[in-house]
A and B are shown apart, each in its own frame.
Chain A
């Protein structure tokens, strides 16, 4: 019983972290300061923002680097929807 509860708590923690990462990436997409988020991958948009001197948050780059290159979260929220 105790093991089961611990497993549930562990899954909840992992899910929380994933959700938080998703939230962060989504917020990055919707911030108009870094430019349009359509048609570019999140990493490309982050690079572009850095080159233009807009100081994008490091947390976003870290979250993207932890994911696979083919992970759906690498693309913006409007990818495949426009």
Chain B
């Protein structure tokens, strides 16, 4: 789906002529240059910001909050679907009646890496080396509510697709032996969505992720081309008209290849070695300051970026970007991030949530997993089980209270996008952003039509 260096956007057709930039402007209007379009921006990700950071709470509180906050809407939905079925507590399940239980899923996987494996002599590491998925045929689902837990049995239960941490409602009968025979199950389903506003003119939001600066194998010319393109100093006048319609650039994590350089800079005593170790972050800072001078930029931290490791990742510190921080158009935001541009809501992460679910689910298609996340009503269900999460206790900010219009995930191996529909007429655009360091792809989302345009930058001079 990714095209070559020829830009294929809507608008007047024809290949861009590079001669246009090498000659005098043909008209006064052209000489005046282009004005960038502007859009109304609203920051909606305040719930991901942590006011205090206290680590004395246990993770049981997050699970309790998650269950209690997701239970009421799930119950109203389920009462309509299965009227007349009693709600029961796991601890006080009646013997032979068909009941309804709401709880959190725990998936028991034998292949799941556990720290205790080191102490068991016969299980070697050889089983787990080279595995991308930890699912097995003998995985089982256990449902937990605030009182107790029970094992679920049932042919229709999608054991392979479920992951730990999803809140589910099941209807069935208690089987002898303490298990529960499931007849039907239900999830929270897609949350309500604000109506899609209609815009009068084309405007674009540019999404990119995985810049990977500091990687010796990566080509720094690609990043240069990207910055030049977004600033508008690349290609012909026609192209610049289109670029002037890009109202926002979002970098969804993955700025640096790794934070090794920054950590080594502390140990190096010589200024020359220190400068070499800090070169990647300086390069990122220069690129971002160039961008911020031309277009509003938002930067989300990724897995290998110098921000806290546990979700929700807090914004990168402004000292890392001394040049870019002087621009008000430069926004350092959290991961996950939610914002609204001209009424179109975007929600996205830097990829840790999708990568983690991918490991524990049989599903191969990443877009289907994104759709599942919307169905389950939770952005990061596997936190805190397998994905590090901050020990929150007041609320669970990852619960999807409303469905966004665009749902993006960064740092994925390949680009893919799809429009999915919800049960109440919601329409969500799902986008998997590929890593820029390997694919050189920038994604433009048209706010008027919700069409997606990938633009590939290739700096290969030899071909």
**Interface contact B56-A39, CB-CB below 8 Å:** yes
Closest B residue to A32 using CB positions: B147
**Interface contact B68-A36, CB-CB below 8 Å:** no
**Interface contact B147-A36, CB-CB below 8 Å:** no
A37-71: which have CB < 8 Å to B?
38-40, 48, 52-54
Q: How big is chain A's contact interface, by range?
A: 10 to 19
Closest B residue to A39 using CB positions: B57
Closest B residue to A35 using CB positions: B64
Does any Cβ of A come within 8 Å of B342's Cβ?
no
The 8 Å CB contact of B147, one of A33, A39, A53, A54, is A33
Does any Cβ of A come within 8 Å of B58's Cβ?
yes
Does any Cβ of A come within 8 Å of B202's Cβ?
no
Measured between beta carbons, the chain A residues less than 8 angstroms from B325 are none
**Interface contact A32-B146, CB-CB below 8 Å:** yes
The 8 Å CB contact of B61, one of A33, A36, A53, is A36
B25-61: which have CB < 8 Å to A?
56-58, 60-61
Please list the residues of chain B having a beta carbon within 8 angstroms of any beta carbon in chain A: 56-58, 60-61, 64, 68-69, 72, 91, 146-147, 393-394
- Would you list the 7 A-B pairs with minimal beta carbon distance, nearest first? A36-B60, A35-B64, A52-B68, A39-B57, A32-B147, A32-B146, A38-B58
Please list the residues of chain A having a beta carbon within 8 angstroms of any beta carbon in chain B: 32-33, 35-36, 38-40, 48, 52-54
Measured between beta carbons, the chain A residues less than 8 angstroms from B56 are 39
Q: How far is the CB of B55 from chain A (nearest CB, A)?
A: 10
Q: How far is the CB of A80 from chain B (nearest CB, A)?
A: 12
Measured between beta carbons, the chain A residues less than 8 angstroms from B72 are 53
The 8 Å CB contact of B393, one of A40, A52, A53, is A40
Q: How far is the CB of A49 from chain B (nearest CB, A)?
A: 9
Measured between beta carbons, the chain A residues less than 8 angstroms from B64 are 35-36
**Interface contact B61-A35, CB-CB below 8 Å:** yes
Q: How far is the CB of B315 from chain A (nearest CB, A)?
A: 27
Closest A residue to B61 using CB positions: A36
Measured between beta carbons, the chain A residues less than 8 angstroms from B146 are 32-33, 35
Closest A residue to B71 using CB positions: A52
15 new A-B contacts at CB < 8 Å, known A35-B60, A35-B61, A48-B394: A32-B91, A32-B147, A33-B146, A35-B64, A36-B58, A36-B60, A36-B61, A36-B64, A38-B58, A39-B57, A40-B57, A40-B393, A52-B68, A52-B69, A54-B68
